[in-house]
């Protein structure tokens, strides 16, 4: 395959990944998600009805019903990356005096991540049942802003405890609801936010580590082969010094799979690093993403720029009424409040 074909395939795959992730990661408020919605709306008159129906049904089944599709997708991608790493990078790294310990770190990270992932998927996020409901009502106080005292969940037929929300995908109310994550096929709530956070961080670590090792390997290949000082003959028969573009092109054609993997991992790393930072921030300021999005919507409705008076003070999470300090907030994420272990005022 020539460089251009390979490169177009590459760009197409990456762009599809970005669009899919943004559209369906459960946070449709992202700018890219909105862009995607607009594009689909504009394009819909040109798409035949039957295709639209099929795709609507698929979307419904994949994203609005519980299913393990993304868990499998996840495992397949992971297997592909690790196969590639073991098959091509591992051996090479050993040859160029990278120590055994360094080369094995990705496997250790994989083991850790798999445990956390399992916990995150399997652990009950804090489902509200008839039995624990009365006790759960006492865990958090109502703030009368986002959570009104006495509001009912029409499906579950009971009064919603503060900070809880009904998950439409799982059809249950969840305590300290964060969001429903399709990648773990579970809600993220009081009891598994910690695993979710650790899971994000461990995937970042995994991707980052493999990126560093692979980058190091490619760098050594370039240095060893003397490509940096090489010259090539162009179409006019002139001798040209090899530039960065030439080296990238060369690597692309010599190690297409490795470069592909590297690009994918860099993408995953930055995406998840941003997302992890967001979730760390939320943990530190004692908020859930559900509250964060609601609060954003809330203040937008009421704050008319230039309207003169502000009847309500805008919420500042860092100095919020519920924020009792970073350590206490983190403690609450890692040791969720439960009715038996009530918070100490």
338 belongs to the binding site for ligand NAG (CB under 6 A): no
The least distance separating ligand NAG from the CB of residue 141, rounded to whole angstroms, comes to 5
323 belongs to the binding site for ligand NAG (CB under 6 A): yes
CA nearest to 131, candidates 189, 69, 191, 175: 175
286 belongs to the binding site for ligand NAG (CB under 6 A): yes
Instruction: Say how far apart CA 291 and CA 283 lie, in whole Å.
Output: 12
Q: Find all residues with CB under 8 Å of 255, minimum gap 6, and list them.
A: 88, 218, 221
Binding pattern to ligand NAG, positions 158-187, x when CB under 6 A? -----x------------------------
Residues 138-152, buried b or exposed e (16+ Cβ, 10 A)?
ebbebbeeebeeeee
148 belongs to the binding site for ligand NAG (CB under 6 A): no
Instruction: Say how far apart CA 41 and CA 288 lie, in whole Å.
Output: 31
Instruction: Say how far apart CA 339 and CA 138 lie, in whole Å.
Output: 7
The secondary structure element, H or E, covering residue 210 is helix 193-225
Contacting ligand NAG (CB under 6 A), which of 85, 117, 140, 269? Answer: 140
Number of residues that bind ligand NAG (CB under 6 A): 12
Nearest residue to ligand NAG, scored by beta-carbon proximity = 322
Instruction: Say how far apart CA 65 and CA 167 lie, in whole Å.
Output: 11
**Which of Zn ion, ligand NAG, none does residue 312 bind (CB under 5 to 8 Å by kind)?**
none
Length of the chain: 345
- Residue 153 among the catalytic residues: no
324 belongs to the binding site for ligand NAG (CB under 6 A): yes
122 belongs to the binding site for ligand NAG (CB under 6 A): no
Q: Which of these ranges, 6-14, 42-50, 256-264, 323-331, lies near ligand NAG under the rule CB under 6 A? A: 323-331
**Rounded to 10 degrees, what is the CA torsion of 253, 257, 261, 267?**
40
Nearer to ligand NAG, 74 or 324 (CB): 324
Asked if residue 121 lies in contact with residue 184, where contact means CB atoms within 8 angstroms, the answer is yes
141 belongs to the binding site for ligand NAG (CB under 6 A): yes
The least distance separating Zn ion from the CB of residue 70, rounded to whole angstroms, comes to 13
Catalytic residue set? 181
List residues near ligand NAG by CB under 6 A. Answer: 140-141, 143, 163, 286, 322-324, 328-329, 332, 343
């Amino acid at each position: 395959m020539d460089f251009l074909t390979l490169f177009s395939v590459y760009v197409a795959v990456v762009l599809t990944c970005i669009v899919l992730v943004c559209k369906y990661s459960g946070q449709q408020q992202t700018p890219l998600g909105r862009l995607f919605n607009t594009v689909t709306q504009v394009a819909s008159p040109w798409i035949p009805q039957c295709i639209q129906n099929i795709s609507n049904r698929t979307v419904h089944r994949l994203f609005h019903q519980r299913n393990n599709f993304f868990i499998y997708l996840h495992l397949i991608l992971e297997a592909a990356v690790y196969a590639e790493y073991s098959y091509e990078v591992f051996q090479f790294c050993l040859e160029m005096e990278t120590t055994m310990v360094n080369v094995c770190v990705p496997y250790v990270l994989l083991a850790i991540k798999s445990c956390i992932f399992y916990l995150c998927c399997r652990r009950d996020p804090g489902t509200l049942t008839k039995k624990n409901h009365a006790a759960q009502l006492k865990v958090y106080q109502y703030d009368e802003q986002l959570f009104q005292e006495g509001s009912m969940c029409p499906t579950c037929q009971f009064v919603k405890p503060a900070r809880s929300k009904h998950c439409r995908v799982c059809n249950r109310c969840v305590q300290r609801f964060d969001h429903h994550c399709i990648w773990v096929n579970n809600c993220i709530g009081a009891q598994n936010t910690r695993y979710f956070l650790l899971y994000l961080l461990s995937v970042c670590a995994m991707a980052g580590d493999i990126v560093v090792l692979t980058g190091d390997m490619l760098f050594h290949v370039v240095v060893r082969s003397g490509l940096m000082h090489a010259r090539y003959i162009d179409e006019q028969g002139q001798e040209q010094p090899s530039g960065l573009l030439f080296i990238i092109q060369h690597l692309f054609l010599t190690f297409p799979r490795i470069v592909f993997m590297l690009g994918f991992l860099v993408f995953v790393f930055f995406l998840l690093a941003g997302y992890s930072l967001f979730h760390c921030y939320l943990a530190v300021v004692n908020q859930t993403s559900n509250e964060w999005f609601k609060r954003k919507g809330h203040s937008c409705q009421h704050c008319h720029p230039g309207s003169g008076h502000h009847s309500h003070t805008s919420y500042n999470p860092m100095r919020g009424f519920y924020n009792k300090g970073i350590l206490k907030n983190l403690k609450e994420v890692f040791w969720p409040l439960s009715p038996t272990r009530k918070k100490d005022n």
